[in-house]
Structure 1
Amino acid sequence: MQLWPHNSLSPKGFAAMVLGFFLAASIPLYGVLGTLVLWGLLPFMLAATAALYYALRRNLRDRRILEVLTLTHDNTSLVRTDPRGDSLSWDANTFWVTVSLHETGGPVPYYVTLKGSGREVEIGAFLSEDERKALYTDLLTAVRRAKES
């Protein structure tokens, strides 16, 4: 099972967003073309466009998370790759793995965790609330099937 954050902004959508913002922000500048006021307003418009570009790029970079869960009869393994490319892994005997749903008290509502080998690890914290609820039921089913096989 592989989990990653939803990314609704395609590269074409990114370009259209930045270009559209630039064009919309430049409309007030047409009235001051040929005056010194243009040079006073232009840096602010360019700074706002650069800030939008940076924020969208940063958001895209921060969403490069991948969680891979591997379930077999003998072993359950979770590998999380963060946006910087660093990997964290967790392994446990499938027989002792439990899936928990914490409706409150976690960093997000309906926080899903796996517990085994003396450790409790989060899974899918970047998903939406409805997706975490669905993930919980899917994990319960998958772990039960792995234990039975």
Structure 2
Amino acid sequence: MPVAWNNAAERAPAGTGAFCHAAGGPPYASARLWPHRSLPARGFAAFIAAFACMILIPVVPLLGTPVFWGLLPFGAGAVLALFYSLQRSYSDGDLVEELTLWSDRVELVRHDPRQPDRSWNANPHWIRVSIRNGTRPVENYLTLSGNGREVELGAFLSPEERLVLEDELRLRLARLAQL
């Protein structure tokens, strides 16, 4: 699952204001969520090279003929178009959501590759974690409500991963309320 949780110690340090955002304390827990990468960098290069070789197969017998020069721009264009579209898809995968939990604040920051960062925060005692089990807008739609807003969490995760994330988040919020 493309979620990494960083947990603080189970018990708060002796100092006052432990796990408190207002006092500048460390977060109780934080999670970093990112989309799946089905094609690693090495696979990306290998796929482009294999595609270029496949494009060359029907063109090689035409070497030295005027038809070769007519087909070459289209083959090169196809390789460049594939490269550009995969590169664009790869940069879209740089999307990251960071969820941070303190005793007095929960903060969600979404880092989009082509948009400014978006953030949301609320008091953890008033947050509602909910999941909608329908197909609209997506299956197992996970949201956080609080501070007058409702935000989506982990839109790029699979429905099963959103269920697991909901359980983990509810567990951490319950532990945080006991501190």
- TM-score, with normalisation over the residues of structure 2? 0.79
RMSD: 1.3
* 1:28 aligned counterpart, secondary structure: coil
Structure 2's unaligned 5+ residue stretches are 1-30
Equivalent residue, structure 1, for 2:79: 49
Which moves more between the two structures, 114-123 or 4-13? 4-13
- Does residue 144 (structure 1) correspond to residue 144 (structure 2)? The answer is no
- Does residue 18 (structure 1) correspond to residue 42 (structure 2)? The answer is no
Letter in 1 for 2:83: Y
User: Is the helix fraction higher in 1 or 2?
Assistant: 1
Letter in 2 for 1:57: Q
Change (3 A) 1:45 1:86: same
State the alpha-carbon separation in 2 of the partners of residues 107 and 43 from structure 1.
Answer: 42
Equivalent residue, structure 2, for 1:118: 148
Q: CA deviation at 1:84?
A: 2.3
Equivalent residue, structure 2, for 1:64: 94
State the alpha-carbon separation in 2 of the partners of residues 127 and 72 from structure 1.
Answer: 24
State the alpha-carbon separation in 2 of the partners of residues 13 and 39 from structure 1.
Answer: 30
The ranges of structure 1 where at least 4 consecutive aligned residues each deviate by more than 2 angstroms after the TM superposition are none
* 1:132 aligned counterpart, secondary structure: helix
Aligned runs of 1:2-13 on 2, under 5 Å?
2-13=32-43
Figure out how many residues of one structure are paired with residues of the other and give that number: 149
Q: Deviations for 1:46-103, whole angstroms, at most 9, x for unmatched residues? A: 1110111001100011111111111122111111111126211111110001111012
Equivalent residue, structure 1, for 2:137: 107
Identity %: 46
Q: CA deviation at 1:25?
A: 0.9
Equivalent residue, structure 1, for 2:10: none
Letter in 2 for 1:67: E
- Does residue 131 (structure 1) correspond to residue 161 (structure 2)? The answer is yes
Structure 1's unaligned 5+ residue stretches are none
State the alpha-carbon separation in 2 of the partners of residues 105 and 122 from structure 1.
Answer: 15
Letter in 1 for 2:89: N
Report if the CA contact (8 A) 1:73-1:148 is conserved: no
- TM-score, with normalisation over the residues of structure 1? 0.93
The partner residue of 2:105 within 69, 75, 82 is 75
State the alpha-carbon separation in 1 of the partners of residues 118 and 155 from structure 2.
Answer: 15
Q: CA deviation at 1:106?
A: 3.8
State the alpha-carbon separation in 2 of the partners of residues 21 and 59 from structure 1.
Answer: 17
